[in-house]
Amino acid sequence: MPYDLFEHRHRFSVWAAARAAQRGFTTVDNLRHALELTDIRKFIEANVEEAINADQFAERHGKWCDDIVSDLKESGVQNVTFGRAAKLVAVYLKAMVVVGPHADTALARVAHPPIDRLLLQKLSGLEGVPDDVRRIFRTTNWTDLDRCGYDGLVDRIRQHVLNGDGKKPFWHLEQHWNVTQTDDS
């Protein structure tokens, strides 16, 4: 494989994603291996400029995360969850697509941002969020999320924070994350 800018960005993105997801969990090598077993890189290479909507992305995202969960479990990694796999995928896509040369694509608009405790705490304090959703945001531990819990959380975020209208790209959610804090979870 030639070492070009795409490969360079891929390697950086894998490392960044693995570091973001690994804290107190497993090694960067295990996470790199699991991520690279998916077709996420090939998908970006072949389809990054193609139209994709939120439902199509959710289906693909779910497959990537399920594949990551399966590989990590097969490798003997403990405490593997869909939420951890989702953070790995989110940070990878953020580095490869959202803040990269494909920031204006449909994929960049629908890709899920990294969701962590600090972001959820900020979302729980937003004006206009119903009390029951506020409670969910405040008490959800992203590292414990299964696929159903993750999908439900994404739906609530879209509906109650991004107004469910699809006008704002999903990365817009990160305006609520405070870069002066770090997530120790």
- Predicted structure pTM score: 0.92
pLDDT in tens, 147-165: 999 999 999 999 999 877 7
- Whether residue 181 is predicted with pLDDT greater than 60 in this model: the reply is no
pLDDT attached to residue 69 = 98
pLDDT attached to residue 122 = 94
**Which of 93, 76, 79 lies closest to 35 in space, CA to CA?**
93
pLDDT attached to residue 180 = 53
pLDDT attached to residue 23 = 82
pLDDT in tens, 34-74: 999 999 999 999 999 999 999 999 999 999 999 999 999 99
What is the rounded CA–CA span in Å between residue 53 and residue 61? 12
Task: Give, in degrees to the nearest 5, the angle at Cα 67 between 61 and 69.
Answer: 100
pLDDT in tens, 93-127: 999 999 988 999 999 999 999 999 999 999 999 99
What is the rounded CA–CA span in Å between residue 130 and residue 56? 28
